[in-house]
Amino acid sequence: MANFSLDGKVALVTGASYGIGFAIASGYAQAGATIVFNDINQDLVNKGLAAYKAEGINAHGYVCDVTNEDQVNAMVAQIEKEVGVIDILVNNAGIIKRIPMHEMKASEFRQVIDIDLNGPFIVAKAVIPSMMKKGTGKIINICSMMSELGRETVSAYAAAKGGLKMLTRNIASEYGEYNIQCNGLGPGYIATPQTAPLREIQADGSRHPFDQFIIAKTPAARWGTPDDLVGPAVFLASEASNFVNGHVLYVDGGILAYIGKQP
């Protein structure tokens, strides 16, 4: 369908050298978008460029720290000059620190907030003026089930992702009249190289305890894959979602709808 096409669009996906960001950006490329991404250092950018090239995608990579407003503004200006005005922004760059709250240093809490919440504010702020002038734009914030739920050891991450949900709603509220849609995409538990140790079969042939926990809490009875996020991400970036604004689309296999099996 034509309204799902991203032909002629420039998409910036932050932190998209690998993982979920890479999967989303690759999906956008298949839908016709020109891909721009950043990462924190040149080595990661080079690895990302090689990975995109291996997929037949001619991506444009930039070194940029999303928490540094001057770097972000310079990157956006450079992208507009070298590639074009950014039509689609995916705020994907993020970190998590799993530390019990009473043991967490304030500096560690601030670092998570800075990257996971302040970063999306800074990058969105940089791209919105050109979207306003163009009269169209899509901003997609990578939220989390922790935008809705708490869990042990993730106080900073949950605080940041809860804040990101509300930033999403506020951008929608403030800039909807300019035909800018800002929505969130909330992944569930996704099978990536980073989560592979949590899915290893144990010596006795049983599932890892955390793997058992996730399967029991998920109506789909499986982990998600990065590909599960591509269709929803394309929808939120395309004209098909032009009247969807301030929404968080959870791609979680049903976890948030489910209270769990009776023991």
Total residues belonging to the chain? 263
CA distance 157 to 160: 5
Q: For strands 88-91 and 60-63, give the pairing.
A: unpaired
Active site residue 250: no
Structure tokens given for 88? 């689609």
Which residue is catalytic, options 28, 157, 175, 189? Answer: 157
Residues contacting residue 48 through CB under 8 Å, at least 6 positions apart? 16, 17, 18, 22, 37, 39, 59, 61
Which residues are catalytic, by number? Answer: 157
